[in-house]
Amino acid sequence: MIEADSSQFQIQKLAYKSKSREDFWIEFINQFKISVSAEVGVFKGDFAENILKNCKSISKYYMVDPWKHLDGWNKPANQNDDTFCKFYQETIDKTEFAKEKREILRGKTTEVIDRIPDNSLDFAYIDGDHTLKGITIDLINVYPKIKEGGWLGGDDFSETIWQHSYEFEPTLIFPFAVYFAEAKNEEIFALPHHQFLIKKLSNNNFKFINYTDKYKELNLKNQFLQIKEI
């Protein structure tokens, strides 16, 4: 692992040169020599396939996803069970080349997370249901699985809570992930391509490090007021 005092500079360099979220995370995993990793919210397996193909340091890759219709999940990605079964098989097929590295945990985070030992992950990537409920459950449950000096990142760090329009449940990964980092007294990086990254260190101090031109305020009042204007 890269020394802590140089990690911020490394992340900054990666953030500014990355062309996509996959590009950033592949370079991040390779530079920081991530070995044991987890992905929460696998969907069709495209991200997992890219990581496993391009990151030779990975020795263990947990894949967490229920792959089933979830009642009460008001987001565009919620499909019927038959469709999710197809997505599950698609994921299996796409990552079959790395079957000796992957461990598939089919279930909701609360149902399967205990199959990952505490303090065992170098890195976890959260791309779950994108609601306040979902990101709260995922961050709280995944955080203890990260080892000291490890990393917790995620997708859909959207500057607007109305990522999927007003008819769907708000996306509250931002600012909740920032609040979570502050509660844990950790550094959190806002990255291009709507990504975030938290560094887990017991002697850390909270800091919101923004490598984008977004996320100017954490207050949500103005965003909720937008509904009244419709």
Q: Report mean pLDDT in 10-residue bins for the chain, 230 residues.
A: 69 96 98 98 96 98 88 65 89 98 96 98 93 93 98 95 76 94 97 97 94 90 72
Q: What pLDDT sits at residue 29?
A: 98
Q: Which residues contact 11 (CB under 8 A, 6 or more apart)?
A: 28, 189, 191, 197, 211
Q: What pLDDT sits at residue 206?
A: 96
> Strand pairing partners for 123?
37, 151
194 φ/ψ sector (left φ>0, alpha ψ -120 to 50, else beta): left
Q: What pLDDT sits at residue 8?
A: 92
Q: What pLDDT sits at residue 228?
A: 60
The letter for the amino acid at 23 is D
Q: Does the domain at residues 4-228 carry the CATH identifier 3.40.50.150?
A: yes
Q: What pLDDT sits at residue 162?
A: 80
Q: What pLDDT sits at residue 1?
A: 45
Q: What pLDDT sits at residue 2?
A: 43
Q: Domain segments of the chain: what residues?
A: 4-228
